[in-house]
Amino acid sequence: MLLRFTKMHGLGNDFMVVDLISQRVHLSPEQIRYLGNRNTGVGFDQLLLVETPQSPDVDFRYRIFNSNGTEVEHCGNGARCFAKFVHDQRLTGKRDISVQTSNGRIMLKMRDDHAVEVDMGEPVLQPDQVPFEATTQAPSYSLEQDGHNYTLGVVSMGNPHAVLVVDDVASAPVFELGSKLEQHPRFPNKANIGFMQIIDRNTIKLRVFERGVGETKACGTGACAAVVVGQQQGLLDTNVTTQLTGGNLAIQWQGPGHHLFMDGPATHVYEGQIKL
């Protein structure tokens, strides 16, 4: 069969988006790995599936798979592309879109300037809910790896994140250290690893080693996690511009007990079909 898809990206974090409302197909992990291969398939960081909701009070179900075939809980850049996709494909006429993910509900808002605002919900700081192995909740934790102790903050934005403050993201060992910390035994479900450089209280630079993918040009949930960790450690204010390799995201968080909001672009690249 021919599978129709759309290629999109959010600040260079690229996606293959598939409408499973107007076409019926089940994609196996092997097929997803084939589609995700940049040499022999379509190529993407994540595959986004648009499905009918399982609850009457949401508009869509949103599922995310890494290019290695594993399903993940959340993707902030993908959420913005998801909103633009269902709006452009006229799957909905709403500008405020309620979406069900595997880890809860999120709200997406189409803006007049074609950017998308995502209500990411309330960050989860309790270690056992991230999940992260620690006896008590704290703004930062010490983690041992290869005989060295690293200080990092931990938060879930619907998926697990660890964030380290570094002097310079350009020279940070994103692949070498990120690939090891991603699989550290204190993260039972593995984790995305962020490397954050503080420019001032309203600006950071960030690189992220994404779980199951590697470093990407942008990570929406990683940007949110970095701002949360920076605020918890007293380094950042409530409105922060996050400078990623692919561009900037605006993050707003008023602190514990409040939802976090992410604002940024979503870009259509092309439409395609591929034979399965």
CATH of the domain at 100: 3.10.310.10
Task: Kindly tell me if the per-residue pLDDT of 255 is higher than 90.
Answer: yes
Residues 228, 270 within the same domain: no
Digit-coded pLDDT (tens) for 148-175: 999 999 999 999 999 999 999 999 999 9
Q: Which amino acid is at 175?
A: F
pLDDT of residue 113: 82
Digit-coded pLDDT (tens) for 40-71: 999 999 999 999 998 899 999 999 999 999 99
Q: Which amino acid is at 37?
A: N
Active site annotation includes 224: no
Task: Kindly tell me if the per-residue pLDDT of 90 is higher than 90.
Answer: yes
Residues 135, 234 within the same domain: yes
pLDDT of residue 103: 82
DSSP class per residue in 108-174: EEE-TTS-EEEEEEPPB--GGGTT---SS--S-EEEEETTEEEEEEEEESSSEEEEEE-S-GGGS-H
pLDDT of residue 116: 95
Residues 132, 195 within the same domain: yes
pLDDT of residue 114: 80
Residues 215, 134 within the same domain: yes
Q: Number of folded domains in the chain?
A: 2
Residues 138, 245 within the same domain: yes
Determine the structural domain holding residue 108 and report its residue range.
2-121+265-275
Query: Exposed, middle or buried, 55 (CB in 10 Å: 0-12/13-18/19+)?
Result: exposed
Residues 106, 157 within the same domain: no
Kindly compute the dihedral angle of the four CA atoms of residues 77, 137, 189, 7, in this order, to the nearest 10 degrees. 0
pLDDT of residue 1: 86
Tokens matching residue 183: 């699989």
Residues 86, 172 within the same domain: no
DSSP class per residue in 57-103: TSSEEEEEEETTS-EES--HHHHHHHHHHHHHTTS---SEEEEEETT
Q: What are the φ and ψ backbone dihedral angles of 201, each rounded to 5 degrees? A: -70, -5
Q: Give the whole-angstrom CA distance, residue 62 versus residue 52.
A: 9
Task: Kindly tell me if the per-residue pLDDT of 25 is higher than 90.
Answer: yes
Q: What is the rounded average pLDDT of the residues 240-254?
A: 97
H/E stretch holding 250:
strand 247-253
How many angstroms from the chain centroid is the CA of residue 132?
A: 18
Active site annotation includes 81: no
Digit-coded pLDDT (tens) for 119-129: 999 999 999 99
**Choosing from 174, 219, 225, 244, which is the catalytic residue?**
219
pLDDT of residue 218: 95
Confidence category of residue 112, pLDDT binned at 50, 70, 90: confident
**Choosing from 11, 49, 64, 75, which is the catalytic residue?**
75
pLDDT of residue 19: 98
The pTM score is: 0.90
Residues 46, 154 within the same domain: no
Average pLDDT of every residue of the chain: 96
